[in-house]
Structure 1
Amino acid sequence: MTASSPTATRFGVACSVIASALFALMYYQAALLAPLGSAAIYGWRILLTTPFLGAFLLLSRRWDEVATIGRRLRARPSLGLVLLLSSALLGVQLWLFMWAPIHGHGLDVSLGYFLLPLTLVLTGRLCFGERISRLQLVACALAAVGVVNELLFAPRVSWPAFVVAFGYPCYFALRRVLRTNHLGGMWFDMAFSLPVGLWFIAAPLPEGVHAMRHPVLGILVLGMLSAVALAFMIAASQRLTLGLFGLLSYVEPALLVAVSLLLGERISQSQWLTYGSIWAAILLLVFEGAVAMRAVRPRDLPA
């Protein structure tokens, strides 16, 4: 089954949607585990996901990605300091994903994920000289209107949205510069986070935890969701063209909005311009991506 076959494409689309749904479920599951605290939930996620990612790399015969970084680290120990920075940038994002639904900032983080494709476009242009199309430029301008509205008129500044929207581009840009922008690099980032995760887990538990029903089961469910979602995401990336994979990435923030509303959050009247501008920008990117995909002939797709 090749990446260009209709069967592979349908399977890849299904995997991508399932991954987005599982990440949204994990968002909701974090709210159910609220008495544990976001730091402990983050710690358990790191502890349960890192071994799974390592096992996947071994089974898919991609452990050489990890081994290559290990050899570079032995030859140049100072590289470890930069890898620690890369790990910290990812760790902040993974912690924020667990923290937001617990503390009423689920919509803010989902807004950040909607903004992310646009800030990645700007990062590619400013840092790596990548070409930016007219539609992408218009989309960025629309998003800028939303950002300005958020800063000037929103009842509170959506700082988690800006942490996601500008933190992830810094992380991805650093990984590109370090040449660790593959799964092996992500494994190193998560492995470097393990001591912090274990420290969070070892901290005294809040009083409310003792009133929880089956907290261990809830933690295991969280780890399972994280691991399986990652597996489906990887499966989708291997079977879809980059353009289609990118377009389907908008499903996750849409589901995060739904989960946030389900948890009781609401979009304030002053934020509708923010969301409307950014959603319009996203629609432009989706339109551009769809047109580009229709222009690609089957023989141009990767085998």
Structure 2
Amino acid sequence: MQTDQNITLGVTLNIIASVFFALMFAQTSQLTALDGEEIFGWRMCLTFPCLTAFIALKGYWPQVISIYQRLYRERHFALTRLISALLLSVQLWLFVWAPGNGHGLAVSLGYFILPITMVIIGRMAFRDQMSRFQKLACAFAVLGIANQMVLSQSMAWPTLAVCLGYPGYFWLRRRTDTNNIGGLWFDMALALPFSLFFIIQGGEVVPGLSINMNLLWPVLGLGLISALALTFQALSAPHLNLSLFGLLIYVEPVLLMLVALALGETIRPAEWPTYIAIWLSVIVLMAEGIRGLKKWKAARVVIAPKQGAMQTPASQDEPAGRD
């Protein structure tokens, strides 16, 4: 049974995860000696063992084995895995590249728009029904995007990469029935050779046979933060229903925006209508989530007809993490 205490624990763990993601976003801007590709490579190589350990401890290996077996049974399935790994790698690279290259705000805006594009693609690709709240949110988002298009004649490419790339990635995972932690493990495993290549090619942390200790410790710290973020996010999932988990998605882009502003980026006056419209869109989606959460809370306690015991609906499946 999900008690209020368990829900509070889940919210706390999820917010801590978002804080760690924001810290990682900030720390990458300080690794000026490394380019984005080498930072990405180290992040992948340091995070993958932690993900593997989590899968082993939680008993998710059957998901990995099932996907492995499908590589031999299904035509073109291997190709979809390579495309999925590429789409994920682009997002993880962009996350560590953007803060140090003046695109932190563009990436945070992409994460604000992401839930809206997910709703639209769900409607177009899977015929998911859109509620009135979602339609209103999409209308606000369109206004914000229209203002940005008029302002600059185009959206910043990091914004488009996030708000269109991630939905494409999750669309492919859902279409190929790999939208689980086993699918994430496979995507990261396929990206590991490229990660090692970027590390060797960069050669800043490990030049030749020596080790640059001045860079090694910050890089190891980045890996630790990344692992902690994923761990706290995974630990929070069993304590949250999908509605509450969805609401907490908006904590991360707020923190990323604050980090980008702290790093010296600014929102131009002409861009404020875009941000206001997107924030209104987010508020509408949050209002829908809160409404759904209240309904869930009202329905989750049922008096058993014979024993008079308190029962709750079956727990939700664990939502998949993003970063």
How high is the TM-score relative to the length of structure 2?
0.89
2:234 counterpart residue number = 234
In the other structure, the counterpart of 1:108 is 106
Structure that is richer in helix per residue: 1
Conserved? CA contact 2:300–2:313, under 8 Å: yes
2:46 corresponds in structure 1 to 48
**Is 1:272 paired with 2:272?**
yes
1:32 to 30, 33, 57: 30
| Contact 2:28–2:96 (CA under 8 A) maintained in structure 1 | yes
Aligned with 2:117 (options 113, 116, 119):
119
After alignment, is 151-160 or 43-52 more displaced? 151-160
Q: 2:68 pairs with 56, 70, 85, which one?
A: 70
Q: 1:301 to 1:159 in 2, by over 3 A?
A: farther
Distance 1:17 1:301 in 2: 25
Residue 136 (structure 1) aligns with: 134
Counterpart in 2 of 1:181?
179
Q: Contact conserved, 1:26 with 1:222, CA < 8 A, in 2?
A: yes
Cα distance in 2, alignment partners of residues 39 and 183 from structure 1? 24
Paired position in structure 1 for 2:148: 150
Aligned partner of 1:201 among 189, 199, 202: 199
SS for the counterpart of 1:34 is coil
> Secondary structure of 1:116's partner?
helix
C-alpha contact 2:13 2:233 (8 A) present in aligned 1: yes
Q: Comparing 17-26 with 45-54, which one deviates more in the overlay?
A: 45-54
Cα-to-partner distance string for 1:205-247 (whole Å, 9 max, x where unaligned): 469x9xx972101111111111110011111111100000010
Does the CA-based 8 Å contact 1:241-1:301 persist in structure 2?
A: no
Give the Cα–Cα distance (whole angstroms) in 2 for the partners of residues 181 and 150 of structure 1: 32
Flag the structure with larger Rg.
2
The one-letter code matched in structure 2 to 1:174 is L
Corresponding residue SS for 1:64:
helix
Identity between Structure 1 and Structure 2 (%): 43
Secondary structure at 1:180's aligned position in 2?
coil
- One-letter amino acid of the structure 2 residue matched with residue 66 of structure 1: V
Alignment match, 1:249: 249
Seen in structure 2, the aligned counterparts of structure 1 residues 213 and 50 have a Cα distance that, compared at 3 Å, is: closer
Letter in 2 for 1:237: A
- CA–CA distance in structure 1, aligned partners of residues 181 and 88 of structure 2: 13
- Give the gaps of 5 or more residues in structure 2: 302-311, 316-323
1:12 is matched with 10
Determine the structure 2 residue equivalent to 1:298.
Answer: 300
Stretches of structure 1 lacking an aligned partner (at least 5 in a row): none
> Structure 2 counterpart of 1:91, which letter?
S
The Cα RMSD (Å) is 1.8
Say whether the 8 Å CA contact 2:108–2:254 is kept in structure 1: yes
